[in-house]
């Protein structure tokens, strides 16, 4: 039986801002820009009471909470806090799998301090994080990743929740299916139409039924509904892609404007490729149009993509093959180690920061 901890910082960017500026403490704040096309990265818990959430357009947030205070992001500070917490994790185990700047899985089945109970490891880590950063984290403790992640979310903020082996199956039965791994809005709607609302409903369906209706993920649902998740905690997981995106202040129709931006994006991407020594032969161009539809086109080259010139030429070539029926809202370029997984951080009107910069 494995002992897995999932740690997730509370309202991460917003808590860092409140920590560093006392005048923001206890107030509804949002990290992001209040501009016409701004999008919120995250909101303090005081702001969440008004229904303000990550990825919400700022203008909608202002309507919900007119006294909302907007704070610009400081990625370098978030990054350094992220390094501090990872350092703490590594005092307990080598098996640390970061999912983003503020979140990681830890396998503490055996741990450097020989602490027998995972809940005690989690408690200690939470305390160490608070002492070091003056920030709170929530921790979930369970027998696998799937349940540990659900557990960390259970008592947020500053939560600590354990789903032990004996209670795991019953717990999963009572879960709304929206909480399951891989079930988004679309799948949830489809499941509701099939009268599947809870883990129990999911468990009552056969493996064949789930696979034939939901493909590969059906198998995952089948296992998870039985509290089974065999994924191991993978440290230093290889980065799958590296990307930079840009949302235009106003939607643009001029190809020249798109091309100009493309060069800036490629420059930024080339820097990141050099810094991270990322190896890739596939380049992907992404366009989001005014109706929010997204188009991606890829091209695979015979050798590793390293030079700016190669990036620019390839992305231009892809661009030239696209029909512009609409104005462009966003443009992005990424290089991919394989066809799956996108490592970009979706912050509107911001050069996009790769989610896990120091992976791989
Ligand atoms: P989360 O851990 O998803 O959110 P959170 O830490 O702000 O709040 P919670 O207490 O619910 O965990 O994301 C971590 C940080 O990543 C978040 O502080 C800001 C950033 N982020 C974005 O920039 N855009 C997004 O859409 C999301 C979800 C997060
Ligand atoms: Mg968080």
Tens of pLDDT, residue by residue over 72-97, are: 999 999 999 999 999 999 999 989 99
Q: Inform me whether the pLDDT recorded for 243 exceeds 80.
A: yes
In the predicted model, what is the mean pLDDT of residues 166-181? Answer: 95
What are the pLDDT digits (tens) for 300-311? Answer: 998 889 899 999
Task: Assign 349 a pLDDT band (cuts: 50, 70, 90).
Answer: very low
User: Which of 60-64, 115-119, 237-241, 243-247 shows the lowest per-residue confidence on average (mean pLDDT)?
Assistant: 237-241
Interval between CA 158 and ligand 2 midpoint (Å): 11
What are the pLDDT digits (tens) for 259-292? Answer: 999 999 999 999 988 877 788 999 999 999 999 8
Which strands make up the sheet holding 29-32, listed edge to edge? Answer: 40-43, 29-32, 69-71
CA nearest ligand 1 atom 15, residue: 12
Using a cut of 0.85, tell me whether the model's pTM lies above it: no
Residue 237 gets the label, from left (phi > 0), alpha (psi -120 to 50) or beta, of beta
User: Which of 102, 351, 352, 355 is the pocket-test mutation for ligand 1 (most atoms within 8 Å of CB)?
Assistant: 102
Enumerate long-range contacts of 175-182, CB under 8 Å, 24 or more apart.
Answer: 175/150, 175/199, 177/201, 177/202, 179/150, 180/146, 180/221, 180/224, 180/225, 181/146, 181/149, 181/220, 181/224, 181/229, 182/217, 182/220, 182/221
In the predicted model, what is the mean pLDDT of residues 239-268? Answer: 90
CB 42 within 8 A of CB 59: no
Task: Assign 237 a pLDDT band (cuts: 50, 70, 90).
Answer: low
In the predicted model, what is the mean pLDDT of residues 310-320? Answer: 95
Residue matched to tokens 């440290």: 235
Q: Inform me whether the pLDDT recorded for 338 exceeds 80.
A: no
Q: Inform me whether the pLDDT recorded for 344 exceeds 90.
A: no
Q: Which ligand is nearest to the CA of 16?
A: 1
C-beta 12 within 6 A of ligand 1: yes
Enzyme catalytic residues: 103
What are the pLDDT digits (tens) for 122-172? Answer: 999 999 999 999 999 999 999 999 999 999 999 999 999 999 999 999 999
Q: Which ligand is nearest to the CA of 73?
A: 1
Interval between CA 136 and ligand 2 midpoint (Å): 10
Q: Which helix (H) or strand (E) holds 315?
A: helix 308-320
C-beta 78 within 6 A of ligand 1: no
Q: Which atom of ligand 1 is nearest to the CA of 156?
A: 10
Task: Assign 347 a pLDDT band (cuts: 50, 70, 90).
Answer: very low
What residues contact 146, with CB distance under 8 A and at least 6 apart? 180, 181, 224, 227, 229, 231
User: Which of 6, 7, 12, 348 is the pocket-test mutation for ligand 1 (most atoms within 8 Å of CB)?
Assistant: 12
In angstroms, rounded to a whole number, what is the distance separating the alpha carbons of residues 182 and 217? 7
């Amino acid at each position: 039986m494995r002992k897995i901890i999932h740690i997730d910082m509370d309202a991460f960017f917003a808590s860092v801002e409140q920590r560093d500026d006392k005048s923001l403490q206890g107030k509804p704040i949002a990290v992001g820009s209040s501009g016409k096309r701004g999008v919120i990265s995250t909101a303090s818990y005081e702001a969440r009471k008004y229904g303000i959430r990550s990825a919400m357009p700022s203008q909608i947030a202002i309507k919900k909470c007119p006294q909302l205070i907007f704070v610009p992001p400081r990625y370098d500070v978030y990054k350094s806090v992220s390094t501090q917490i990872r350092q703490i994790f590594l005092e307990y185990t080598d098996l640390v799998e970061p999912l983003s700047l503020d979140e990681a899985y830890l396998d503490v089945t055996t741990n450097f301090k020989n602490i027998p109970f995972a809940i005690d490891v989690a408690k200690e880590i939470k305390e160490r994080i608070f002492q070091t950063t003056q920030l709170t984290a929530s921790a979930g403790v369970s027998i696998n990743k799937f349940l540990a992640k659900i557990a960390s979310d259970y008592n947020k903020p500053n939560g600590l929740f354990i789903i032990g082996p004996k209670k795991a199956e019953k717990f999963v039965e009572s879960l709304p299916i929206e909480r399951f791994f891989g079930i988004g809005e679309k799948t949830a709607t489809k499941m509701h139409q099939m009268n599947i609302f809870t883990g129990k409903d999911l468990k009552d369906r056969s493996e064949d039924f789930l696979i034939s209706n939901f493909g590969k993920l059906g198998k995952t649902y089948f296992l998870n509904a039985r509290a089974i998740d065999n994924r191991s905690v993978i440290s230093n997981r290889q980065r799958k892609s590296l990307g930079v995106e840009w949302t235009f202040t106003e939607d643009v129709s001029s190809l020249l404007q798109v091309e100009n931006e493309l060069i800036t994006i490629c420059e930024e991407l080339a820097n990141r490729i050099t810094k991270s020594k990322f190896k890739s032969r596939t380049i992907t161009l992404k366009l989001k149009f005014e109706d929010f539809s997204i188009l991606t086109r890829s091209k695979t080259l015979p050798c590793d993509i390293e030079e700016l010139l190669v990036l620019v030429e390839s992305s231009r070539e892809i661009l030239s093959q696209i029909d512009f029926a609409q104005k462009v809202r966003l443009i992005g370029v990424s290089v991919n180690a394989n066809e799956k997984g996108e490592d970009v951080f979706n912050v509107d009107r911001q050069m996009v920061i790769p989610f896990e910069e120091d992976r791989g």
